[in-house]
Structure 1
Amino acid sequence: MLAHRTSCLPRADVLPIGQPPRTMPARAIVDAAQWAASDDEARWIVAAGFQQRLVGGDELHQVLTRLTRVRRRRLILHTATDAAGGAHSLGELDFLRLVRNAGLPEPTRQKARNDATGRRRYLDAYFEPWRIHVEIDGAQHLDPRLAWADMRQQNDLWVDGDRVLRFPAWLVRERPAEVVDQLRAALRAAGWRGPV
């Protein structure tokens, strides 16, 4: 990791307590995203900030309003908007872009629900009118304990009458047409009458 310096540090971007002085999380995320080695790394940094609840709402937008020159400004703004709306991983961001580009209805993201044991769970993408849930699985879903938790959640959704589609994040990125075809077929089977 390279060290970076800034010559523009408004008081609103400095944590008011503790020593040594340090930047607020939203400013740190904007800086890390603009200094990232690639656009994908920048998107991951922004999404991770929301996923880990370091920031929320429009905090990154406020930082970008204060700063006049930020590398990747537009990418950071778009990613922050989608992450604030519930797309908390690169796979989920890629999926959301696929849905929009394909002209499919936009899903609710990170929809909260309680599972059969009463535990609060979040659905990656939920097409509520058609009761279709989409889960985007990253590498962590290969862990056997997590895999069972995923299966249990999927079983609960099926018992409740929802359709469940699962896609590994690599497939969303590498073979998007397959993902769109399956999602479109599921939406049509559930009654969606949008464009072909």
Structure 2
Amino acid sequence: MPVRRATTWREVAGAQCGLIARRQLVELGYHDHYTDSRVAAEQWQLVSEVVVCTTTGTLTREQLMWAGVLHAGRGSAIGGLTALERRGLRNWHRDEITVLLPKSHNLQPLEGVRFVETRRPIGLFATGRLPTWRAEPAALLCAGYTAGANTALGLLAAVVQQRLTTPGRLLEDMRRLHPLRRSKLFRANLQDVAAGSHSLAELGVARMCRDQGLPLPDRQVRRADASGRDRYLDCVWHLADGTIVILEVDGGFHMEVGHWESDIRRERDLVTTGAVVLRCTSREVRDVPERVAASLRAVGVGRSSA
């Protein structure tokens, strides 16, 4: 049964969080004088030259997303970190909204919205009433062109860790997005994510092991400490002589007093079980991996690993 087409501005605006484009109004038979009279009577407000809001007051975040897509016109979609926000990504919020649109658009700016031109097939990756890119292409394209490879890898690890996607689906969409900047780096690190790495620090350890000729550790291993409590350990090597070597990678938040004391207690409880516990910072893994590798070799990793 065919879907009934909207016939009034209320129906269209109601489906678009109160926003409507002038072109949509014209298609419905409401010409510019009708729109201008509503704005003059302060019943509506102009958001841009081509978009009006049928409510007054400050736009909500969702309304601003609609405004961005309607302002950019047909063929545009929510992308980047904004698309990932809509898909459920946490802790990567940016106030600015990202809207993707086809190349060669001559578009006036819109406050609070960043318009990104792309030759990628926008519609192929967009879903929903408010066109929004799927998590995989949004994360990959954002990671490909964000400043800093570590930030890019952290983003890909985050979308997998937060269960928005899987390494396999990311690798599949990498082929659809070819050519993609940093694709070789992404492919190698996604294999590590699939093997169990759950953070950027763990990805750094895997990269360090490959570069320094060390065996890859087991990651996110559950082990009981001396008090019987289960601990999830970043990286674990089981040596041939039965020794267990644990590497704990500390990020910046470990410097906070509460975390610092907790880490000391955690290390003490693990050492009393007979494990060898080494600690390093994520900066060391990134900037001086050879030093961390030398410490691991000193306690037997690489020479006597099972």
TM tier, smaller: 0.7 to 0.9
Alignment partner, residue 136 of structure 1: 249
Distance 1:73 1:174, change over 3 A: closer
Alignment partner, residue 88 of structure 1: 198
Task: Give CA-to-partner distance per residue, 1:150-191, whole Å, 9 cap, x none.
Answer: 223222322322111100112222332321111101126xx9
Structure 2 residue runs of 5 or longer lacking an equivalent are 1-95, 97-113
Distance of 2:237 and 2:137 partners within structure 1: 33
Distance of 1:3 and 1:84 partners within structure 2: 33
SS in 1 for 2:133: coil
Q: Which residue identity is paired with 1:50?
A: V
Distance of 2:266 and 2:115 partners within structure 1: 43
Alignment partner, residue 258 of structure 2: 145
Q: Within 5 A, what are the aligned runs for 1:12-27? A: 13-15=125-127, 18-27=128-137
Distance of 2:232 and 2:164 partners within structure 1: 18
Once the 2 structures are TM-superposed, how far is the Cα of residue 118 of structure 1 from its aligned partner?
4.4
Once the 2 structures are TM-superposed, how far is the Cα of residue 100 of structure 1 from its aligned partner?
1.7
Distance of 1:66 and 1:125 partners within structure 2: 33
SS in 1 for 2:292: helix
Could you tell me which of 149, 163, 168 is aligned with 1:39?
A: 149
Alignment partner, residue 220 of structure 2: 110
Q: Which residue identity is paired with 1:152?
A: R
The farther-off stretch of 110-119 and 148-157 is 110-119
Once the 2 structures are TM-superposed, how far is the Cα of residue 114 of structure 1 from its aligned partner?
5.2
The answer to whether the aligner puts 1:173 opposite 2:286 as a matched pair is yes
Q: Which residue identity is paired with 1:66?
A: R
Relative to total residues, which structure has the larger helix share, 1 or 2? 1
Q: Percent identity?
A: 32
Alignment partner, residue 164 of structure 1: 277
Distance of 2:214 and 2:130 partners within structure 1: 49
The farther-off stretch of 121-130 and 135-144 is 121-130
The farther-off stretch of 42-51 and 176-185 is 42-51
User: How many residue pairs were aligned?
Assistant: 188
SS in 2 for 1:126: strand
Alignment partner, residue 193 of structure 1: 304
Relative to total residues, which structure has the larger strand share, 1 or 2? 2
Q: Which has the higher contact order (CA 8 A, sep 6+)?
A: 1
TM-score by length of 2: 0.54
Higher Rg: 2
The farther-off stretch of 110-119 and 40-49 is 110-119
Distance of 1:51 and 1:105 partners within structure 2: 24
Structure 1 residue runs of 5 or longer lacking an equivalent are none
